[in-house]
Amino acid sequence: MKRIARRTLLAVLVFAALLYPVYLAVGNWMLRSGVERWVNRRPERFLLQYDSAWTVWPGVVHVRGFRIRGQTPSV
């Protein structure tokens, strides 16, 4: 039983180690190439801009020069 648990743990660790560079590449590529266009579909109502953004850890994004503007007729 211990051998199976050790192999499973090793497989999970190897998978995580291989997945991390993929996360870095895809996450940083998305931040540099298209997130602003996707978020700013209607810039007259909502506008999000930033000078630079990067990620090194899942769920954490570092941003410089962040600007946000929103407008709604209901407030």
CA distance from start to end of the chain: 62
CA atoms within 13 A on the CB side of 69: 7
The amino acid at 13 = L
CB 50 within 8 Å of CB 67: yes
Per-residue pLDDT of 38-67, as tens digits, reads: 888 888 888 999 999 999 998 899 999 999
Which has the closest alpha carbon to 67: 29, 38, 40, 28?
Answer: 40
The residue among 74, 33, 69, 68 whose CA lies nearest residue 53 is 33
Q: Is the pTM of this model over 0.75?
A: no
Mean pLDDT across 17-31 = 93
What residues does each domain of the chain span?
A: 2-70
